[in-house]
Amino acid sequence: MIKDFLKGLWKENPIFVQVLGMCPTLAVTTKALFGLSMGLATTFVVVSSSVVISVVRNFVPRQVRIPIFTVIIATFVTAADYFLKANFFQISKALGPYIPLIVVNCVILGRAEAFASKNKVGRSFLDALGMGVGFTAALIVLGAIREILGAGTVFGIHIMWKGFTNWIVMVLPAGAFITLGLLVGVFNVVDQKMKTGRKIAKG
């Protein structure tokens, strides 16, 4: 069971391995805080919709499962959007249309179709939570790198030395592609090293 949770963090990380949900990944990670907020909102949606879909999976006629999953996902997205607007107004303003757009984040429908619609509630919950945490962690890393190089701060705290020239390109869309590409590369190198290491250990 614990494997259901852990696979989202590394082996099947939604961003670095599955390369899903690229729209929010590239668009909102100009700051670490935005990455964290988007990650948490997405985690909330993927966990709640996976649990509900897992509960109703035996009642849903196969022919209409996709529309029903979409309605369930959209309900939670709308709830998350209103909740942020009511309680975290500034963050909601900064993330703009990308919160409602969680509806079309393929990480969520992907989990619903590939896992929650075939597995029991407990496992679906852990699977979704793992994916959510993996997604959030990746967004924070991406956001932190772009914020440090692009604005000299992380989570709004100044950390670069005085006279550091901000690399404006990092907070522009091009910076998102550059950072993501390099991170996926680094991820794969580390992953390969770990795999060969394991093989050698096994003999």
By C-beta, is 10 or 100 nearer to another protein? 100
Q: Judged by CB under 8 A, which stretch of 124-132, 136-144, 155-163, 167-175 contacts another protein?
A: 167-175
Q: What's the rounded Cα separation, in Å, for the pair 173 and 27?
A: 7
Residue 68 contacts another protein per CB under 8 A: yes
| Calpha distance 60→64 (Å, rounded) | 7
According to CB under 8 A, which residues from 106 to 145 bind another protein? none
Please pick, from the candidates 1, 2, 58, 59, the single residue that binds another protein as defined by CB under 8 A. Answer: 59
* Beta carbon nearer to another protein, 89 or 194: 89
Separation between Cα atoms, residue 28 and residue 184, nearest integer Å:
18
Find, among 99, 98, 41, 105, the residue nearest to 70 by Cα. Answer: 105
Q: Exposed (0-12), middle (13-18) or buried (19+): which is 167, by Cβ within 10 Å?
A: middle
The answer to whether the CB of 27 falls within 8 A of the CB of 98 is yes
Give the range of 4-12, 76-84, 116-124, 129-137 binding another protein by CB under 8 A: 76-84
Residue 167 Cβ vs another protein, minimum distance, rounded to whole Å:
9
Residue 136 structure tokens? 């959030």
**Applying CB under 8 A, does 74 fall inside the site for another protein?**
yes
Q: Is 158 in the site for another protein (CB under 8 A)?
A: no
Judged by CB under 8 A, does residue 160 bind another protein? no
- Least distance (Å) from another protein to the CB of residue 16? 24
**b/e sequence 104-114, b meaning 16+ C-beta within 10 Å:** ebebbbbbbee
**Quick one: which H or E segment has residue 190?**
helix 173-202
Rg, the chain, Cα only:
18
Candidate list 60, 160, 178, 184; residue touching another protein; CB under 8 A: 60
Among 3, 11, 19, 85, binds another protein (CB under 8 A): 85
Instruction: Give how many residues touch another protein by CB under 8 A.
Output: 30
Binding-site ranges for another protein (CB under 8 A):
30-31, 56, 59-61, 63-64, 67-68, 71-72, 74-75, 78-79, 82-83, 85-87, 89, 93, 96, 150-151, 166, 168, 171-172
